[in-house]
Structure 1
Amino acid sequence: MFKKTTKLLVASALVTTLSSAAFAADKVYKWKLATTWGSTLSPFIDAPTNMAKLAEEMSDGRLQIRVDAANKHKAPLGILDMVKGGQYEMGHSASYYWKGKDIETLPFTTMPFGMTAPEQYAWFYYGGGLELMQKAYSKHKVLSFPGGNSGNQMGGWFRKEINSLDDLKGLKMRIPGFAGEVLAKLGVTVTNIAPGELYTSLERGTIDALEWVSPSMDIKMGFHKIAPYYYTGWHEPATELQFLVNERKFSKLPKDLQKILITAMRVAAYDMYVENYHMNAEAWAQIATDYPNVKIKTLPENVIKAMKKANDELLVDMAKESPLLKEVLESQKAYMKKAREWTKMADYKYLEDNL
């Protein structure tokens, strides 16, 4: 009797275990993702949209992610708070938008005069950058992953030509991240404005200049109609967007769905980088033929020199903010020093010899 009862209990336990496994395999997880971008803002909005499609396809429909653009949730610069609070399981934005909340998040987007996109991706995935980013975001109970790179961005649109440092003093400019700190040190009045408000702010004179991204996205915004001087970049050589994931919600996903989500984010991020490069190549050709009044400029040497000096001084002060921030900045500096020698040999030398 005892043996028979034991066998029944074991059999019952096995059935329960198998049923639970089957239930877990069949369960559909429905998530929501909030973006900083509007629904038509390609290629930025394409990264989370494509990621959601990939995740659903690879999971056979078990992981479904609804993407809410900024025009739906109305809080383009509130993504971190919404994911942190659990209102959304995921977000897509840029890490430097949170510098006012947590300065330790700032360097994970890009830094002035910093790494190029290939260098930065190598740092993230093979140079310890991703681990440092998770460490920085752990206090917020969220995970952060690379979300797509814009490559080297243009320096912005200006109503008037910049010929000297004096032309920067009192200038009102929209520019986020550490570059804003650099320009503020040189007398620029810096502000950060959500993407959907940029054109109106420039048109109404609320700002005198702005930087957005690069030709493919800038021309569609119409900035050239108001500010014809288009400057080459210095401030965002490798702007990496980010996927934010609520840590608690992520931990509740089955292991296979966790891996699928991480893979989908990585694939979508790289695809955005490639898509953006293609779009810029086409848009640059379009500027030359369709918008001949756009004046392509490079900032004067003395201005660049002053910005580099201000940048170096601010980095010293920034490193004092926290041990983690110092660790991140030193890691980026060391990796760039190592990788740049190969970049010069592989890319710069090739272009120098063959153009």
Structure 2
Amino acid sequence: MNTELLEALNILEQEKDISKETLMDAIENSLISACKNHFGKADNIKVIMDRKTCDYSLFQEKTVVETVEDPVEEISLTNAKMMDPSYELGDIVQIPVESKSFGRIATQNAKNLILQKIREEERKVVYDQYFEKEKDIVTGIVQRYVGKNISINLGKADAMLTENEQVKGEVFQPTERIKLYVVEVKNTTKGPKILVSRTHPELVKRLFEAEVTEVKDGIVEIKSIAREAGSRTKIAVWSNDPDVDPVGACVGMNGARVGAVVNELRGEKIDIINWDENPALLIENALSPAKVISVAADPDEKTASVIVPDYQLSLAIGKEGQNARLAARLTGYKIDIKSETQAIESGELPANYMEMAMEEDYQEEEPAENYSGEEDYTSDDLDLYEE
């Protein structure tokens, strides 16, 4: 038994996760390569290796001939009979080859072949490991800034968080742990190239899957996500179980679940709304926290006209148009928002609409709303849950 070789292969298998079978194949190929360097050709070289003991034998197969023209592949009948009297012309003789007789160059080439195979297998193992994590989140450790990019250690491999995939305003310190979304994993000659992101909308979805059991189990579905990284995200959720409130499940007790996601995203606001097959209701929910008077949606043209109270117009549009922009991305509709006054002037509401609305307000004063599990949620309301 070749104890030293067997121990070396076991260590490599444990530390680098490279199978012994692959390493033994590499050793066989290196021996054939060494023979080629030593003899000039290796077509008639046979390697026999015991997979359990790591014992190996090298043979040079030569054909028995009357007159030897190629000493590498042929042997004379006289010499063959000296080895075994039963040999006749045309027989194949297996002549043992001592690997110790190889020259320095042949030995060095064989060694380099084995090392190259080990490096290739290392890269393949790492690539396979991270390819499985493509379109998922990983935890990385910040190493250093390389220009405007950030070098991230993911364990067995490094990734570069490029400037385009960073959230504006986020600053990380070396050794800090952060969560990243693996956009793509490419296999290169220098090892796997891993593209990670902090701005991808799917990062929010994966974070909710990690925090919300119902999302992970498929009871609650995240139907759509619209994100402006570092500022605000809107997600539309739907429950496959009528007894489970999707918004409440994502918010958690006292806002604990959504709070954990907000903390990981460094305070990014998150609006959670109910998904609805009716586009008008979906658009109304998407414009939350603004109140809506009416929605006229055209599913064919993917356009919608929305009317809101005068005092809700700025809230519906949002700062620099953010709320309306995110609602449009979330629903896939081009949304035109008008105030009551604008709608009356354009004839979309009757001229006496304001008087009718005031009468209704006097008849029934609307009570203050608290979260009941039925309303849409915005992370601006998080303070209410913490009281």
**TM-score bracket for this pair, using the shorter chain length:** under 0.3
The structure with more helix, counted as a fraction of residues: 1
Of the two structures, which has the highest relative contact order with CA contacts closer than 8 Å and spacing of 6 or more?
1
**TM-score w.r.t. structure 2 length?**
0.22
**TM-score w.r.t. structure 1 length?**
0.24
